[in-house]
Amino acid sequence: MDKTTNLRQRGANTRAVHGGQHFDPATGAVTTPIYATSTFVQSAPGVHKGYEYARSQNPTRAAFEAAIADAERGHAGFAFASGLAAEAALLEIAGQGSHIVASDDLYGGSWRLFHRVRSHSAGLTITHVDPANLDALRDAIQPNTAFIWIETPSNPTLRLADLEAIAAIGRERGVLTVVDNTFASPAVQRPLEHGIDIVVHSVTKYIGGHSDIVGGAIVVRDPDLAQKLQFLQNATGGILDPFSSFLALRGIKTLPLRVQRHSSNALAVARWLDAHPKIERVVYPGLNSHPQHALAVRQMDGGGGMVAAYLKADEQQVVDVLSRFRLFALAESLGAVESLVGQPWTMSHGSLPEADRLAREITPNLIRLSIGIEDVEDLTDDLEQALSIL
């Protein structure tokens, strides 16, 4: 039975639960089983039931790929072993000696992949621009530019980019546009609906949502681009395994519900921090004080679950504050049901040169909060006791 009939006319929560899904034809199982097999029997050479080898196709992975494509309103989705594995496969489209125009506030792992891997192995060149400066973005495009690559909200300073305007520039100049939608998730914004060509995700974060998998995904809206990525996914081989695909599929079913709570908690925490005497500045798209708040209202469904805060503290004091948290876990990653805290200066963006970090306002007194789904009063209590040493 096909559960997706007329799904495109249904709401976000219904789509999250049913999007791209079919009841198991062999048993009637409501949940797609974990197909832990490396190969599939063929009735004759080259004659099979759509599956021949698990790197090329797997039913559990295919179910998650259909679900993430539906969540992003795309034509097709592709699941990888990590977010960086997804990005590495996508960069194969660019080809040798290509150029990328990228956000100047970029995840440290993406920066490392661009500058310390593909610049050497593929002659990739990168121009970083503030994507809010559309003239600078347009001027940075070169004849060999393959991608305009942005994050919105950005990691870790939560700057926004105008999706419709950037998509228009890409179409005008014949350049593919890529949005890393990890910080928002499709429950908060869907870049393909604004004309963007490609969305990438760290599935590890909001889509998985439970700190128990590592994965990545790409979603596209163009069938020809989907064919290229299907080939590259198989050829490069960095696929998501069946068990992680099963958990990612589980995660996406509750994504809208979880993100509603992430967002409402984050707004409450951001307002609380904004009034705290030990906080220098709070950055959160849902606050009126965010310089791009109007853009957030226009292209996002809520402010998301990430909050950036600059403490009135020196570097050692920040370390002392971070060591005092009881509910917030001092850990890498984000987007999980439990609240996490980190210092981008030494953690997520430690691979960037110091001058680049400072230019991006990534300073030692910046902390990044991934707000979970706990009771918000408990979160503010934990923040209060941690900040009390300042």
As a whole number of angstroms, the distance between CA 1 and CA 366 comes to 51
C-alpha dihedral sign at 285, 218, 87, 172: negative
Chain centroid to CA 40: 33
As a whole number of angstroms, the distance between CA 184 and CA 196 comes to 15
Q: For residue 59, is the peptide bond before it cis, meaning its omega torsion is within 30 degrees of 0?
A: no
- Is residue 107 part of the annotated active site? The answer reads yes
Structure tokens at 25: 């034809």
**Residue written as tokens 């440290």?**
108
Structure tokens at 293: 């708040």
Provide the terminal-to-terminal Cα distance of the chain, rounded to the nearest Å.
60
Name the pairing type of β-strands 99-103 and 279-283: unpaired
The active-site residue, picked from 105, 162, 180, 197, is 180
The active-site residue, picked from 107, 206, 284, 310, is 107
The active-site residue, picked from 55, 112, 250, 281, is 55
As a whole number of angstroms, the distance between CA 36 and CA 61 comes to 11
DSSP letters spanning 23-42: --TTT--SSPP----SB---
Structure tokens at 163: 């999706």
**Interior angle at CA 178, CA 346 and CA 13, nearest 5:** 90
- Is residue 180 part of the annotated active site? The answer reads yes
At what angle are helices 255-274 and 242-253 packed, to 10 degrees?
A: 70
Structure tokens at 87: 């990005």
As a whole number of angstroms, the distance between CA 181 and CA 83 comes to 11
The active-site residue, picked from 205, 221, 258, 360, is 205
**Residue written as tokens 């039975």?**
1
- Is residue 205 part of the annotated active site? The answer reads yes
Burial class of residue 41 in the structure, from the number of CB atoms within 10 Å of its CB (0-12 exposed, 13-18 middle, 19+ buried)? exposed
Helix residue spans in the chain (DSSP H): 12-18, 59-71, 83-91, 108-112, 119-121, 134-140, 163-173, 223-236, 242-253, 255-274, 293-299, 315-322, 354-359, 376-387
> Where in the sequence numbering do the catalytic residues fall?
55, 107, 180, 205
